[in-house]
């Protein structure tokens, strides 16, 4: 019995040592995620098939790859793109909260992604007041998105967009900004945060009043995608 126990223990130690000495390929995705596993099939300019460390199988399109670090010196069809690389961000937002109006908007940003963790760009879009009157604001903003350095396909991020908004129907402009925390899963994103639109004008001296055609601060929900 003692010999059997020692034999089983030796086999277990050998298996653990073999597993510890196994090396894995490291796959960096454009959304900032890092995957560890063995690349078992590679189709040039099409896709790679990866067996992850937990045994699951993942098929990843080439368009989602940033670079691959192989565990051995074997040849690769994959050609690492130059960094930084350019990205489009598209999303839709819904603003609600203590303000008297609710708002919906569509946004697009274009910029550069640096070292898998930082995006810098500029963006614009349309924001509509969900009221009987048609009020519209066109924001122009700087776009900064910082990704947290975590492993796996889900990537948390912080998204900041400071800028100005212009209301063409009223000829006024003012501050626009938002701060959102969210999650990036492959190319799709969702987030929640706060946003403000504060447009004002010099008023109408004949009517002795200062019109405020578009002013709101509240919570914002966003869903979108990255290309």
pLDDT of 18 over the 50 cut: no
Pairing state between β 65-69 and 172-185: unpaired
Domains belonging to the chain, first-starting first, are: 21-80 (2.30.30.100), 85-226 (2.40.160.20)
Q: What is the mean pLDDT of the chain?
A: 78
Comparing 13-27, 43-57, 91-105, which segment has the lowest mean pLDDT? 13-27
Confidence at 20, pLDDT banded by 50, 70, 90: very low
Q: Counting Cβ atoms within 10 Å, is residue 191 exposed (0-12), middle (13-18) or buried (19+)? A: buried
Tens digit of pLDDT for each residue in 63-113? 888 778 776 554 444 444 445 778 899 999 999 887 667 889 999 999 998
Neighbours of 153 (CB within 10 A): 15
Predicted pLDDT at 203: 54
User: Pick from 98, 160, 81, 93: which is nearest to 128 by CA?
Assistant: 93
pLDDT of 31 over the 90 cut: no
Tens digit of pLDDT for each residue in 159-196? 999 999 988 877 778 899 999 999 998 789 999 999 99
**Strand partners for 28:** 34, 67
Predicted pLDDT at 21: 45
Neighbours of 44 (CB within 10 A): 11
Token readout for 84 is 């930084």
Alpha-helical (H) ranges within the chain are: 2-21
Q: Which residues of 208-219 are buried (b: 16+ CB within 10 A; e: fewer)?
A: eeeeebbebebe
pLDDT of 45 over the 50 cut: yes
User: Pick from 171, 225, 162, 223: which is nearest to 195 by CA?
Assistant: 162
Tens digit of pLDDT for each residue in 109-162? 999 988 778 999 999 999 988 765 557 889 999 999 999 877 667 889 999 999
């Amino acid at each position: 019995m003692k010999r059997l126990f020692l034999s089983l223990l030796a086999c277990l130690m050998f298996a653990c040592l073999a597993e510890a000495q196994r090396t894995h390929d490291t796959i960096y995705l454009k959304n900032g995620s890092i995957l560890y596993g063995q690349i078992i099939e590679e189709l040039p300019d099409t896709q790679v098939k990866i067996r992850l460390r937990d045994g699951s199988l993942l098929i990843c399109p080439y368009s989602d790859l940033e670079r691959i670090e192989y565990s051995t010196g074997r040849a690769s069809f994959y050609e690492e793109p130059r960094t930084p690389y350019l990205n489009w961000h598209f999303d839709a937002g819904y603003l609600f909260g203590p303000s008297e109006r609710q708002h919906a908007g569509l946004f697009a940003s274009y910029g550069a992604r640096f070292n898998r963790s930082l995006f810098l760009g500029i963006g614009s879009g349309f924001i509509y007041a969900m009221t009987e009157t048609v009020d519209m604001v066109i924001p122009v903003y700087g776009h900064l998105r910082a990704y947290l350095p975590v492993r796996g396909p889900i990537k948390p991020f912080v998204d900041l967009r400071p800028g100005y908004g212009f209301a063409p129907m009223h000829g006024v402009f003012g501050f626009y900004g938002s701060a959102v925390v969210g999650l990036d899963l492959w190319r799709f994103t969702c987030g929640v945060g706060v946003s403000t639109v504060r447009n004002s004008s010099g008023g109408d001296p004949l009517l002795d009043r200062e019109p405020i055609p578009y002013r709101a601060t509240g919570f914002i929900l966003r869903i979108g995608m990255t290309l």
